[in-house]
């Protein structure tokens, strides 16, 4: 997985194209990510004992990983992710635009 929870991403395809957001959840088995405030859908829920809020609830729907790109913290541009190893043997993500490590 090249993305992690808390990363800033840019949507590059679909109805949310051009919008940025922060990754809330990663669904690795389905290759999808849930982004805060993007790809909102309306769910109609009934009042049950476990559900506090009933009616029309807006929530985020997952986006496919191929439709998003990581935004580098250093250069603030969407980038592909590479990997490299530090001197101590730790594997880190690297921005392919500015060659800086991504935290």
How high is the pLDDT of residue 92? Answer: 94
Q: Are 92 and 101 in contact (CB under 8 A)?
A: yes
Reply yes or no on whether the pLDDT at 103 is more than 90: no
89 and 103 housed in the same domain? yes
56 and 84 housed in the same domain? no
Question: What's the average model confidence in pLDDT over 38-57?
Answer: 88
Question: What's the average model confidence in pLDDT over 33-62?
Answer: 90
Helix (H, G, I), strand (E, B) or coil at 55: strand
98: left (phi over 0), alpha (psi -120 to 50) or beta: alpha
How high is the pLDDT of residue 47? Answer: 86
Tens-digit pLDDT profile for residues 16-42 = 999 999 999 999 999 999 999 999 999
How high is the pLDDT of residue 79? Answer: 94
Q: How many CB atoms are closer than 10 A to CB 64?
A: 13
Instruction: Please count the structural domains in the chain.
Output: 2
How high is the pLDDT of residue 48? Answer: 85
31 and 61 housed in the same domain? yes
The domain containing residue 34 runs over which residues?
1-71
Reply yes or no on whether the pLDDT at 80 is more than 80: yes
Nearest 5°: phi and psi at 28?
-65, -35
């Amino acid at each position: 997985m090249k993305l992690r929870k808390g990363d800033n991403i840019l949507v590059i395809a679909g109805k949310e194209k051009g919008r940025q957001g922060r990754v809330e959840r990663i669904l690795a088995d389905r290759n999808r990510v849930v982004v805060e405030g993007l790809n909102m859908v309306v769910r109609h829920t009934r009042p049950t004992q476990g559900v506090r809020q009933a009616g029309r609830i807006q929530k985020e729907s997952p986006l496919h990983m191929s439709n998003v790109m990581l935004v580098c913290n250093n250069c603030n541009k969407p980038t592909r992710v590479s990997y490299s190893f530090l001197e101590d043997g730790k594997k880190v993500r690297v921005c392919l635009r500015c060659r800086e490590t991504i935290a």
